[in-house]
Structure formats: structure tokens, C-alpha cells
Structure 1
Amino acid sequence: MSELKIAGLGKHFGKQRVLDNITLDVGQGSLLALLGPSGSGKTTLLRLLCGFERCDGGSIHIGGRLVSSPDVHLPPEHRHIGYVPQEGALFPHLSVADNIVFGLPRAERRQRHRVAELLEMVGLPASFAERAPQQLSGGQQQRVALARALAPKPALVLLDEPFSALDAALRGETRQAVAAALDASNTTALMVTHDQAEALTMGSQVAVLWQGRLLQVASPQTLYQRPASAALADFVGDAILLPGEAGNGEALCLLGRLPLLDDMPQGAVNVLLRPEQICLQPAGGSAPQAEVIDVSYYGHDASVRLMLADGSLLAARVPGHRSPQPGQRVSLSVEGAVACFAAPQQAQEASGGRGGLPAGATRLQHSPALFRHGS
């Protein structure tokens, strides 16, 4: 049974439709990452789940209980939801222990019920119980906020961009601690984020929300390798789109004859590659050739901008220790199978003139080779 079930959910503010027919199932003990740009409707969905707004259509069930529909609106305090905001929002005048038990019944607050257990669960020592929140790092405060959310044993935990205020060094460590705590407590969770790496790292499923509509709900691997559209491919990571011809399980494009993933369209297509699939070797042989235009070096890896023989530009991602020099000539090969999308005219015919892109998606401009950096 799904711990969280959203069916056909809709919300208007005046004449503006903010959420349109949202349907999601989040199973017991799993974490769904809701990914979308600013203005996509993520905050409105959280407010509907919490009970701060009424829905115009559809329904929300939590733990098998109907909590929201056009005719039913359970108050927030009766929904049994834990909430972790962006910056923890701990009470500065209370100790860590008192923050954790704040939402419990009075008797359990006095006993500091499960404080040591919850601190251990989020990866903090029991000795932190007597500290003030301001004596903790940002990552430690977020862990305390999660412990507070888990203390009442909620049916659902909502995480609202919980790592956005942390620096890069703390983000990875805190993500791991939060994921481990949710898993240990078998708690169902929905995390809202605009960070693609965060969504792919933490979610057992990722749902992409775009202008109030769900474009795709899939595992992180499926979303990255088989995005539902070219626009979605461009949003989730870095995308290279090359025109080509698909048939018999292969696609022929500027980078040669490439194996296709199963169930890809045939005929005129745009081939999707990820920059890390492009391998660079010393120039020579019959492989496609390119010139290195520039290199962005990040230490662990490097982004290499390349110009093909016909003047087309694309980018590759290589290990930092193997980054080439600008002006160098290289040969290109592609690792792994690739996805593809029906070319624009073919997609329009198949979709009745809508171009094959989901509602709310932005059409990409096609050229002999296109590299676009995901936001």
C-alpha cells in the first residue's frame, strides 16, 4: 500500500492554474525526490500536503486515510506529517534535546523521550543533547531538524530543499546522514529540490514538475538515461543532441554508428548523448576528429569543448588527470548505448502538431550539433 497517494490533484490561484492533474504514489519507507525549477509548483504542492491550502480537485491520502479533496480538508495538526524546512528553523532558546521533543505530548517532553535514539539515528552523539542550536554547524542543525520531525513517528516526512543553505563540503555528508536516518526509521518521505544531483542521489524515484505538470516519474537511472523528451534531457544534466537516422537498433550520426537503448524511435531522430559518454583519444585512424576549443578544469574532472570538422560544437567530460590542452586534435568515440527522440517534423506528425514535447516544456533549437548545459 502507498503511504502517500496523490490522485488528479489540482490547484488554482484566481485564473492561474498552479497544479494540473498531479498523480503520485510513494510507497512505505521510500523517498521520492520532487525536482523542478522555481515557479514549477513545488511549494504549492507542499502546502497542499501539509494542509495549509485547499485543493480544487483530486485527492491526497496519507497512510490510507483521505486528508484532502474538494469536500474533505483535514487540518494540518491532524495529518501526522513531519516537516524539515530549508534552514532547520530550530528554536535558539531551547537545547537540542528540547528542540527534538518539542512536538511530543507533555509527559514525553519531560522524559526527553527517544532523544538519545534519535540523535544516534541522525548520526550525532548523545552528548549534543544539551548544546544550544547555535553551537552546531549548519549540517548538524539540519540533522537535529530531521530528528525533531521523526520524533512523533509521522506517517510522512516532507523535506523542503533541506540542503540548499549548506556549503558544498557539508552537503554530501548531510545527505548521507539524512538518507540513512530515513531508511533506518522506515519513514516515507517526499523531498522537494531544484538540484538535479541531489534528486538523483537521494530519491528512489524522481518526479519532475514543470509549470504545474508532472513530466516524468521514474528511477534516477531511467530519468537520466531515458528522459521523456529532449527538453527534459536538457534539464536533467548536460545534454548533447545530434541529428541522425535510427534503425535496426543503431543510430547513425556525426559521431558514427551508435547502439541504441531498447524501444527507441526509428527514422529521422535526434540522438541524445551525455558528455561523459564521449571518450577522447590521440588523433588518428578513422574515428571522428575534433579540435579542443577550451577546457574547464574542476580537479576531479574537466569539461572539454570540442569543434567537429563541420564546425559543430559539443562538449565532453573527462577525468581531470586526462584533460587535453586547447588546440589539441583528438579522436572521438562513444561509450554505451544512447537514447534518441523523433526529429521535430516526425514528432509533430505523431502528436498532432504539438511537436512531441510535454506541455510546459521548452522546445530546443536543432542544429548540426547542439550542446546545452542543464540548469
Structure 2
Amino acid sequence: MSNLSIQGLWKTFEGHAVLRGVDLSVKSGALLALLGPSGSGKTTLLRTVCGFERADSGTIAIDDRRVAGEGMHMRPEARRVGYVSQEGSLFPHLSVAENIVFGLPYARRRTRDRVAELLELVGLPASYAARPPQALSGGQQQRVALARALAPSPRIVMLDEPFSSLDAALRAETRQAVAAALAHAGATAVLVTHDQSEALSMGHEVAVLWNGRMIQTAVPDELYRRPVTRELASFIGEAVLLQGMASGAEVACDLGRLRLMAPVETGTVDVMVRPEQIKVEPVSSQGHADCDAVEATVEEITFYGHDATLSLRLAERSDPSMEAAVRARVPGHQVPATGVRVRLTVEGEVVAYPR
């Protein structure tokens, strides 16, 4: 197991800065999910760590050994970094076993060193060794690609959106298999993705790259509950953003007087509430005397089976000229009908961003 340390990393293409002073640290044996919108620099960062691109400035160290920095650039093959591409990139003219041992020294390739062990590690039968890659499903091919990356016992494994081409059911199954294989191998890994649910479910930590800058690195729960910017709040899952007035540990907005996770300076703020925090009850519900409840009308329902998203129009709002629709998420068996009037309350604490 190895740690990865990146400090002040810059990379420019044709005068355009793609990476802007990136700092990142990955603990030994951890899986870090690198998240960001398209064009944020995720793949460039991965390729620079692998050694496929030369950094303009800054340093990269693996196990406290510098592999890139001022005046030096270690060759990719000397870095011992495993790489799994988006497509898997298996050789169609080679068998599964030949693909797995492809990057090993000749003597180990000849003996098919650790092929059965690696196939078992990624959840595939040893009998698959003789098959051509095209005889496997997309998810199975990605597992073979991971086995190939793990074969030389790399210090770091880099995965570049390896599940994006798979359908939803196969993607979930392959994620679990890959995460289990990496954990069993004790590998330090960086998973590049633009899929928020993938990053939050797989990463021990999640780092967010935005316009070439690292804007937040945190455990998944912290990142989801306390994103550092309003833009990030909208990018990570769904967010309801309302104007409010903060005072001490509370904020007043169109959803009532709410508790803040962290106090902010008194004044106008944007309040971030997650849709699942908004509790929805019928107006006719007995025993509901919560003075912080607000009334709304169900305008639209998006049903997903296990849950549903409601578009709700507030009966009253502080600024009549502003959009009055909010979204709430409710269990699939508790979906009210369109047009029904309901009461809304917010559970838990919220985040405020000063204007």
C-alpha cells in the first residue's frame, strides 16, 4: 500500500490552464473518488499522475518518493501506477489470461503468473482465462481490465470512469466487485467520475475538482451535507436554494425558521435544503400544530418507485416576484395526489451561503 501526495500542480494546454495549483492527498489503502463536471480537469490530473502528461509545475509523490517535480519527470513504467481506462482497452486478439499478464516480465507472462488468483479476486471464474475478451459482458471486461492493472502489484491504481459505458444494473454490480477487489488487494486507488452517486457510495473520501481547482475534499457524508459553495450544493445531488436572513445559529426563509449547521454573519444568505429534509404532510393531518410549518400545493410528481420527487408551490413567500416552487422527496408509498394542499416542515440543520 502506498500514499499519494500532490502539491501545487499546474498543467496548461495551448495557453489554457487545465489544472490550477491542485493539492491532493490520498492515504495508503484508501479509495478516493475524484468528482467534477465535464471539463474540470479530472482526466488530465489522472494522466499527469500516471506520467502520460508532464506537469508544468508542482510535485507528485508516491510513498513519499517524488515522481514529478521541477526538473524531473519519472517515466510512466517506472512509477508502478496501475491504470484502468473507460473502455477497458483489452486486446481482442489475446485471451483473458494473456491480457491479464500482458504488462508482466516475460518469465511471468509465460507461466501465466497469478491469473487464477486475480480472476478470483475480481469475482470471475478461473475458467474464463481461456476466453477471448469479446465473449465477456461489458462488466466482466472491466473486471479483467482491473485484474490486468493489479497484476504487477502497483503502488497506486487509477480508474478513469470505468463504469460509464455500462447499463445501470450492471454498473452497480461491477462497482461492488471492483470495490471489493481493491479492498481485498489493499490497493490505494483514485476513481475518476462525474457520477455523484458513484463517488459518494464508493469513495472513502471524495475530492471535487472545479475549473481546474480542488475546491473540497471530505468524507462523503460531510461533502453531501456541507458543500462549501452553492454551486457545489447543486452539483452534489439535488438542492433547494432559497433566499433567507441569517441571525446567529438560525435563518428565516420561506420554509420557516431553520437551524444552521454553522453560524454565519448576520445578513442576507442563500439557504440550502436537501429535498429529503422536507417533510410533507396533508393539511388535514390531525395533531399538527407546528408553528414553523408552511403550506404548499403539489404541482408535479416524478415517480421513481422507491421514492418520488414532488414539485411544490408555496402558498406564501417573502418576495412574490421570486420563483415559489420547491422540491421534496418522499417515499414511494406516501406520494400525495397532484393538486393536494400539504404542510411542509424541514428536518435537521441546513447550510447558508452569505451573499
Shorter-chain TM-score tier: over 0.9
> What corresponds to 1:281 in structure 2?
281
Q: Distance in 2 between matches of 1:104 and 1:195?
A: 33
Given the two structures, how large is their TM-score scaled by the length of structure 1? 0.88
User: Deviation at 1:105?
Assistant: 1.2
Residue pairs, 1:357-372, within 5 angstroms = none
> What corresponds to 1:340 in structure 2?
352
Letter in structure 2 aligned against 1:52:
F
Residue pairs, 1:256-335, within 5 angstroms = 256-284=256-284, 285=288, 286=291, 287-310=293-316, 312-335=324-347
Contact 2:84/2:145 (CA < 8 Å) preserved in 1? yes
Label 1:94 to 1:223 Cα distance change in 2 as closer, same or farther (>3 A). same
> What corresponds to 2:165 in structure 1?
165
Q: Which runs of 5+ in 1 are unaligned?
A: 345-375
> What corresponds to 1:115 in structure 2?
115
Letter in structure 1 aligned against 2:340:
Q
Letter in structure 1 aligned against 2:302:
S
Contact 2:33/2:191 (CA < 8 Å) preserved in 1? yes
Letter in structure 1 aligned against 2:326:
L
> What corresponds to 2:3 in structure 1?
3
1:212-231 alpha-carbon deviations (Å, 9 max, x no partner): 11111111111110101111
1:284-335 alpha-carbon deviations (Å, 9 max, x no partner): 4552110000101111111110000136111111111211111111111112
1:125-174 alpha-carbon deviations (Å, 9 max, x no partner): 22211222111111111111101100100011110000000000101111
User: Deviation at 1:248?
Assistant: 4.2
Letter in structure 1 aligned against 2:327:
A
Q: Distance in 2 between matches of 1:9 and 1:266?
A: 37
Q: Distance in 2 between matches of 1:265 and 1:66?
A: 43
1:269-296 alpha-carbon deviations (Å, 9 max, x no partner): 2211011111111114552110000101
User: Deviation at 1:244?
Assistant: 2.0
Q: Distance in 2 between matches of 1:323 and 1:194?
A: 30
User: Deviation at 1:123?
Assistant: 1.2
Residue pairs, 1:1-375, within 5 angstroms = 3-284=3-284, 285=288, 286=291, 287-310=293-316, 312-342=324-354, 344=355
Identical-pair percentage: 60
Letter in structure 2 aligned against 1:292:
V
User: Deviation at 1:9?
Assistant: 0.4
Given the two structures, how large is their TM-score scaled by the length of structure 2? 0.93
User: Deviation at 1:268?
Assistant: 2.8
Question: Aligned to 2:198, what secondary structure does the other structure show?
Answer: helix
Structure 1 runs of 4+ aligned residues shifted over 3 Å read 262-267
Please identify, of 43-52 and 72-81, the stretch whose mean Cα deviation from structure 2 is larger.
43-52
Letter in structure 2 aligned against 1:318:
V
Query: For this pair of structures, how many residues does the alignment match?
Result: 343
Question: Aligned to 1:181, what secondary structure does the other structure show?
Answer: helix
